[in-house]
Amino acid sequence: MGSEGLPSVTIHVTGFKKFHGVSENPTETIVINLKEYRKKNGLPKGLILGSCSILETAGQGAVVPLYQTLQSAVSMKDSESSNSGRVIWLHFGVNSGATRFAIEKQAVNEATFRCPDEMGWKPQKVPIIPADGGISQKLETALPVEEITRTLAKMGYDVMTSDDAGRFVCNYVYYHSLRFAEQNGIKSLFVHVPLFLVIDEETQMQFAASLLEVLASLN
């Protein structure tokens, strides 16, 4: 097969399990059902949906499985042709107080958990990666967040750009992922979704599928 037939982008996706105050995490449902949903509706040309993983809603105690998950995409990329195209990590997290989707521009090197995570850790003003400096240190995604948001809004979704992913597990995972992406020549994006009570499951599945298409269409 010639190089023109190789996929141009592989997107690996993560969601989270339930946690304190959220007995049903919509991101777990979205990520578990995404492959089947895309199979029924087809994938855009040049897009491969890679791994779909569910992460523990935990910080420090879940770092090892997180890195194993992130590393698996790089190992896969290295084992395939060097012309296998771009790799994007797409992370979904829930914001139980949100009324719309939020495309997160950055993560901050600060863990200040409002409640204990699922492993009982409740850090306050702790740097996620001490070697990176203080808690004001930020990492930004290399993906064009405003462009992605505009495109999704034109498709009819209630979506915004955000520069505050919180200081809980979502921000914790995003910071690690952005750092890992920077070091491994891949890209990372975090998206917050509301509860299914606010935006129903079918609409959220459509949004996730549309987001994959938008990411695949980026140069």
Kindly list the domain boundaries of the chain, sorted by start residue: 9-217
**Nearest alpha carbon to residue 180 among 23, 81, 72:** 72
Measure the CA angle with vertex 112, ends 199 and 68; round to 5°: 75
70, two tokens: 């992130």
**Nearest alpha carbon to residue 136 among 167, 105, 97, 99:** 167
**pTM to 2 decimal places:** 0.92
pLDDT 10s digits, 170-192:
999 999 999 999 999 999 999 99
Q: What is the mean pLDDT of the chain?
A: 90
Architecture of the domain delimited by 9-217 = 3-Layer(aba) Sandwich (3.40)
Q: What is the mean predicted confidence (pLDDT) over 65-79?
A: 81
178, two tokens: 């952005």
pLDDT at 75 (0 to 100) = 77
**Which has more confidence, 181 or 63?**
181
